[in-house]
Structure formats: structure tokens, C-alpha cells
Structure 1
Amino acid sequence: MQDIARLADVSTPTVSRVLNGSPLVTEETRERVLEVARAHGYAVNRNAQKLRHARTNTVAVMLDFGSHRHGAIGDPFVFELLAGVSEALSVRNQDLLLSPPGLDDVRAFRDFHRARGADGFIVLGQGTRDEMLRSLGKHDIPLVVWGAVSSDAGYCAVGSDNLGGGRLAGEHFVSNRRKRWLFVGDIRHEELRLRYEGLKLAAQGARNVAIDLLPIASMAFTVTAETVASYLAGVAPPDAVFAFSDTAAMAVIGAFRDRGLIAPRDYSLVGYNNIPPSAHFHPAITTIDQKTDVAGALLVEKLMEQIEGDRPASVVLPTRMVRRET
């Protein structure tokens, strides 16, 4: 910067203001400094610049690789959330650091934050890490989680009304006079447990309803399809299925079709998330809609409030039933 200042006949602080976009510099001076910088190939070292400031202007966004076999995350819903977060961060001129490796426990998160790897963390999916996240919430580390919202979690969360979504699915089955219900999903995940509990609440108001639970070892599409196929080989088929996601619902449709069972003729089916392909799948999937259009912005807003020293409250987003062919 000293060389650029000498060549542009300005002070070094003026060069710094120009390169940082300060409004305290006249347009004429700004153009002269930028012209000299371009002519001599000068560019700001952003990493060095971050070290001089209290903030890194970087947010680490963590994906739930643990819930997917071999890290194969393929659910469009995850990437809808990620796109919303990315857009909201770009508006605020924040860098996005995607799932830095090694952050598997509280100590790793603390060390990464103290080393100024990121100003804070957005975790997309609690998975089976709720206990670790609760421990992390006890430390002074900016953290926002997409997932189930609990008053005693100790960390800020943004998520849908999973209990209400499960109840909506059950009410759909009741209205179609279905009696043998199946929930497909791993209820060790708090979000999925709440959906299952909501389904059971809806069943309480109906007569002669039985609910079976089919745990899924991984959220990967192929694992879901294989698990459902194995289940159908050993039992009488259910006449209603509530799948933990729309992609899981697609896997269910395939496994049922292989046994000659078609929705809605032979069974009712409800997915979750309302991803765009669910409307164009055959048959079009009845699903529970989450307000993903605002989720990314809310996650970033809550994190920035924490980074600024506030303690924002968690937010539960409403859910609604989108009725289609299944």
C-alpha cells in the first residue's frame, strides 16, 4: 500500500480507505488510486485483511453428513436451505465456509472459533447430534441450528412445526379411512421423532388404527428404498405411509410399485418438505410444506444477532398440507 500511495500521490491511509470502499474518499481520488493499483497488479490479501480486524466475516455452514451413508447427501431440500443461507450471507458480504473437516465435538468447534476460522456456525440438520449441540450451546459461540425447536435446548434453532406436520399427515389418513399406518424414518432425529409423535396424536381420535415404525439406517435414497422393500417382503402392506421426506416418499412409491401397489388406490402417502420434484413425480406426492423460502434468511439473521452480542429467540415456522395425488 505504501508503494501505491507514493505512485498515486496520496497517503497510505487513503489507499486503505479506497480499497475498503470507504465513502470518505472523493471519486476523483478513488479512481486515481484504483487505476494505479490495477496498473501495478495490486490486490488486497483478504486473509491478511481479516487478521487485522476483530471479525473474519466468515460463517461456517455445517451439513449433516452423519445421517447419510458415505456422506452422500442428495436431498434437494438440503440444497434449498443451503442456497437460502448462501444468498442471505452474500447480501451481508459474508464468506461461506462449507463444512470444514474435523468439527465432530464441542472442543473442535471451540478451537476452530478461537482460531478465528469463522465468526459463527449454522448447522443444517441436528441429526443425532442434539446432545453435542446442547453442550456447545453452553459456550459463548455464535450458533444457529436448523431443526427441531426445544425450549430447553440452550441454543438458537429455526425449524418447522414438526409435531403439527405429523398431525396433518395423520388427519389425512383418517379422512381417507386408512387403518394400518407406517412411519418411515429414524426417530433418533428429534425432528422426525416429533413428526412421529404428531402422527400418533392424530391416531388417538380415530378407531382401530395401528401404527408401525420403520427405522431407516441412513437418509440416502437407495437405503430407504432397500429398507422399505425388505419390510414389505415380510408383512401385510400398510394402507398409509408417512415418509420423513419427499425423497423418501419417492423411494416408498418405487418399492410399493414393485409389489403391484399403487397410491392412492392401495395406500395413502404423505411426504415432507414439498421439494419441487414432488409436484411432478408420478403420482404427484401429497406432502407437508415448510417455509424454506424464509428459512435461510432467518438462520443468517439469528446468527448475525448473536455475533453482535444479542441472544435471539428460536423460531418455529408453520407447516401446511399440500394435497396432491397420493
Structure 2
Amino acid sequence: MAARNSDTTTMPRTTRPTMDDVARIAKVSKPTVSRVLSGSPLVSAETRERVLAVAREQGYALNRHAQKLRRERANAIAVVLDFGSHRQGAIGDPFIFELLAGISEALSVRDLDLLLSPSGLDTVEGFVDLHRSRGADGFIVLGQGARDALLRKVARKDIPMVVWGAVSDASGYCAVGSDNFLGGRLAGERFLSFGRRRWLFVGNRQHEEIRLRFEGLQAAARTGQNIEIEVLSIESMAFSAVHDQAHAYLKACTERPDAVFTFSDTAAMAVIGAFNAEGHLTPRDYSLIGYNDIPPAAHFTPSITTIAQQTGVAGALLVEKLMQTLDGGRPRSAMLPTRLVARQT
């Protein structure tokens, strides 16, 4: 009889072995064990035999019901972008790609595929059809945009979904995001500390996140005296669209703003460029605060004061919340720490 491999350690009889135990002893990943036990052709014959031998030796009992559920899954997650908020569907904001990178990494660890913004997801039926046809096990929506009502309807269909955006107990779905109201209030408090009185808010308040930022800005203004807030409601989040609207606004206004709060750092850069063309300079003539703290904000000239979100953990947290939903849980929404990063503007 062949000698038993010295690396194989038998579990105590009183301990019920788990898939993690099999993976550790066989020196493979847990997803590899899952593939072997589900009969996946993606595993080499040598690895399959080793894993099965360890499973038999350890007395690992395969949960047939769980295996059936795994086989019925698509092993793919659909990530839905807010193309409607950008001109001709062109999304160029680095913030979105930071979120995507975190999500992609978290999905790859779990051996799940990422399906990027499938078509037809502008209706409840689109979400339902893709899920029921096993095209995607669940959805991660990046940005509520003006779709909050749609997303609430999707949630009522018991479609597994997690949303990056404004966190609200009334939404009916799990969301991960910053404290947008606090972000707006922090911006306003900074303007007050510099004695600024004519504030411009740049953003579309039909978006839940942006509406909350504006309300936070208003709350700060109410603590000051003689504060005026004007709103530049943009038609598209694209850089060129923001630049053009900001330039047209400044040329037409009779009293220029001495403080500007934009919905993103990318929009802040567009405003700076547009205002520079008319000789209205930050920080000389106005204070400016963006949102998101994307890497270019710190290296822009002048460097941009902004509201920071913990983007580095956001992607992994979105995936973790969705996995909890797929496993039958009801994860709570999560509010990430929100702070002001003071720079030159």
C-alpha cells in the first residue's frame, strides 16, 4: 500500500470538516474545491483527484442542496453604470473606474465574472429578465442618478441588488455610500470660515446623492448671515458639458460667485477651466470644493479642496453586501466616513 502524503492531516473525528479544511489540506483555493465538487471541466485531472482524495479521507460530506444552487447560478454579477447622466453615454470620470477596479478585484477573488452594463437595464423588466434567464446572479448599480424610483421597484421584485449612492432607510434596497448631507455641510462651513457670501452649487438635484449635498450646503448657509446660493443645474455630467455650461453662466451673470461647490472633482476641474477663461481665478476670487477626492485632484493646479469618500473599500464592500444577499441574508446599508480634504482652492 502506498504511503500517505505527509502533508495530509486528518481532522479530529469530533470535528465536522468544511470546504475550507479540504482546500487547506489539498493546498488549493476554496473556489477550486467548489469547481471539483460541482464537476467543472475547468480543473485539471490531477487537481481533481487530489481534492477528491482529501475530501474522502476527511469525511467531507457534500451538501447536495448547496451544490444544486451553485450549479443554477450564472457565476456572473452585472455592474450597471449611469450612462443616462453622461452625454452620449460617455463616462470618463476616474471615480467610476476606481469603484470598478475595487469591484472587479473582489469578484475575481470569489471566481465570479463581471458583466458590465448590459443593455436593456432601464426598466424593471430588464433587470427581472436578465436575472431569471440566469444571465446574472445579481446587480451592483453604480450611481442612482435619477433612477431611484426604478431601483425601488426592482428591489420590490426581490432581485439581488446593491447600489452605490445615497443611503436611505426608505429606499427598500441595500446601498453603500458617503454621508452626502454631511459632505455638503462641511463645504458650506468652509465657505463661511473664509467669509464667502455668494455661493454657486453645480449639480443636478434630481440625483439623490447630489440633492443631499445641496441640502447639507443649505444647512450650513442657514448658520451664517446674508448667504446667497445660486444653482447651476447641469444637463450632463460629462466634462465638456459642465465646462460649457459653467462658461456660459459666468459670461451671463451680473454678480460673480465667491464660492463654488461642485458635484465631483471632475466637474470642479471643468469649472476652474471655464472660469479661468473669463479671468475669474481660484483661490484669488473664489473658494472651490469638489467631491470624491480622485487622485488627480491633489495634483491639479491649483490642487482641489474636496470631500473625500473611502473609495478604496467601497468596491469590496459592495460585493460583500451582494454576496450576503445571494446567500439569503438581508444586509444593511453602509455609510462610509466622509471628510473634507483642504488644499489650495
Select which of 165, 169, 175 maps to 1:147. Answer: 165
Which runs of at least 4 in structure 1 moved beyond 2 Å after TM superposition? Answer: 13-30
Corresponding residue of 1:314 = 333
**Correspondence for 1:284:** 303
Alpha-carbon shift at residue 255 of structure 1 (Å): 1.0
Structure 2 matches for 1:25-36, cutoff 5 A? 25-26=49-50
Instruction: Please tell me whether the aligned partners of residues 120 and 303 of structure 1 are also in contact (alpha carbons under 8 angstroms).
Output: yes
| 1:192 and 2:216 matched | no
Structure 1 pair 25–126 and aligned structure 2 pair: CA distance change class (3 A): same
CA contact (8 A) 2:38 2:71 kept: no
Once residues 309 and 221 of structure 1 are traced to their aligned partners in structure 2, the CA distance between those partners, rounded to angstroms, is 41
From 108, 118, 135, give the equivalent of 2:136.
118
Counterpart of 2:95 in 1: which secondary structure?
Answer: helix
The offset of 1:26, in angstroms, is 2.7
Q: Classify the secondary structure of the residue corresponding to 2:115.
A: strand
Which of 97, 100, 113 is the matching residue for 2:118?
100
**Corresponding position of 1:323:** 342
Which range moved further: 20-29 or 247-256?
20-29
1:303 partner amino acid: L
Check whether the contact 1:239–1:268 (CA below 8 A) recurs between aligned residues: yes
Q: 2:294 is matched with which residue? A: 275
Stretch moving more, 17-26 or 284-293: 17-26
Equivalent residue for 2:85? 67
Q: 1:14 to 1:219 in 2, by over 3 A?
A: closer
Q: How does 1:195-206 map to 2 (within 5 A)?
A: 195-206=213-224
1:154-165 matched pairs, under 5 angstroms: 154-165=172-183
**Residue matched to 2:191:** 173
Determine the C-alpha separation between the residues in 1 that align with 2:53 and 2:337: 52
Contact 1:63 1:99 in 2 (8 A): yes
Q: Closer, same or farther in 2 for the Cα pair 1:204/1:115, shift >3 Å?
A: same
Is 1:252 the counterpart of 2:271? The answer is yes
One-letter amino acid of the structure 1 residue matched with residue 49 of structure 2: V
Q: CA–CA distance in 1 between the matches of 2:248 and 2:302?
A: 22
- Per-residue displacement from partner, 1:179-230 (whole Å, max 9, x unpaired)? 0000000000000000000000001110111000110000000000000111
- Structure 1: stretches of 5+ with no match in the other structure: 1-12, 31-49
TM-score (norm: length of structure 2)? 0.82
Aligned to 1:128: 146
8 Å Cα contact 2:202-2:260 kept in structure 1? yes
Question: In structure 1, what is the Cα distance between the partners aligned to 2:256 and 2:283?
Answer: 14
Q: Structure 1 residues 103 and 206 mapped into 2: Cα distance closer, same or farther (>3 Å)? A: same
Deviations 1:14-53 (A, max 9, x none): 99478447977238999xxxxxxxxxxxxxxxxxxx9991
Counterpart-to-counterpart distance in 1, 2:37 and 2:122: 44
Name the SS for the 1:251 alignment partner. helix
**Which residue is equivalent to 2:14?**
none
Aligned partner of 2:258 in structure 1 is 239
Aligned partner of residue 213 in structure 1, secondary structure: strand
* 8 Å contact from structure 1 (residues 17, 25) kept in 2: no
Partner of 2:169, secondary structure, is coil
Structure 2 unaligned spans of 5+: 1-35, 55-67
Displacement of 1:140 in angstroms is 1.5
Q: 1:57 to 1:300 in 2, by over 3 A?
A: same
In the alignment of these two chains, the number of paired residues is 295
Q: 1:265 to 1:105 in 2, by over 3 A?
A: same
Cα separation, 1, equivalents of 2:40 and 2:276: 65
Contact 1:18-1:25 within 8 A present in 2 as well: no
**RMSD of aligned C-alpha atoms?**
2.3
| Residue aligned with 1:316, SS | strand
Question: What fraction of aligned residue pairs are identical, expressed as a percent?
Answer: 62
Q: 1:297 aligns with which of 306, 311, 316?
A: 316
Between 244-253 and 227-236, report the one with greater CA deviation. Answer: 227-236
